[in-house]
A and B are shown apart, each in its own frame.
Chain A
Amino acid sequence: MKIKTKQFGEIQFSEDMLVHFPKGIIGFEKCRRFLIVHDEEYEPFRWLIAVDENEIGFPVLNPFLVENEYDKELPHRLVKRLINAEKPIEIFNVVTLNGEGGKVTINLKSPVIIDYDEKKGEQLILSAENIPVAKPIS
């Protein structure tokens, strides 16, 4: 299968590389299937690319690179699976370059959770009150 992307031109992928988001991403509920793309030039950022809509992609980052106690904000059931090798999940957060003052900001309030076992994903909203939606990374 192929899709056209802004970031990488045309990319080839197979069905089993797709991650299914039953509820899409907040604000993009129609995008249900995604690819997680790694590329050295963007590291440590990766791209969450929607295959259902043309040229929609989100830069994402491992939150622990900017918030090393992030696990304290996460629900216990998820933290357990971060370290569970049998049924691993991965957590990353959407990043934008268009933050206030042109700053790079990360959304810590709603992480993206990927279950590699089930090939499923969702964007969760954390219940703790004082976690920022747009935290500048400097």
Chain B
Amino acid sequence: MLVLTRKLGQNILIGDEVSVKVIKIDSNKVQLGINAPPSVIVYRQELVEKIKHFNQSASRTDHARLKNVAKVFKKIVKF
């Protein structure tokens, strides 16, 4: 990991198309401004972790239980 120290207002350039600027600094948080083209997707890491976790949980689905859920669902959707 590359660790850089930046002051308020300073910028970091990543590759040819991405830049990250320190916009505001509070005691325990930093506000960052990110410039990137639409092809580069920017996410908070914890969101991706949450989704990963969800997918992992889904992959362990008890298929017998799902059959039962499906039966109930069909009844509800009919109404």
Contacts and interface: CB of A to CB of B under 8 A. Distances in A.
Nearest to A109: B51
Q: Is the interface of B mostly helix, strand, loop or mixed?
A: helix
A107 B48 CA distance: 12
Interface in A17-66: 25-28, 41-45, 56-59, 65
Contacts, number: 82
Q: Is the interface of A mostly helix, strand, loop or mixed?
A: loop
A7 to B, nearest CB: 4
A6 B56 CA distance: 15
A59 B77 CA distance: 18
Contacts of B65: 97
B58 interface: yes
Nearest to B71: A41
Interface of B: 41, 43, 47-48, 50-63, 65-67, 69-70, 73-74, 77
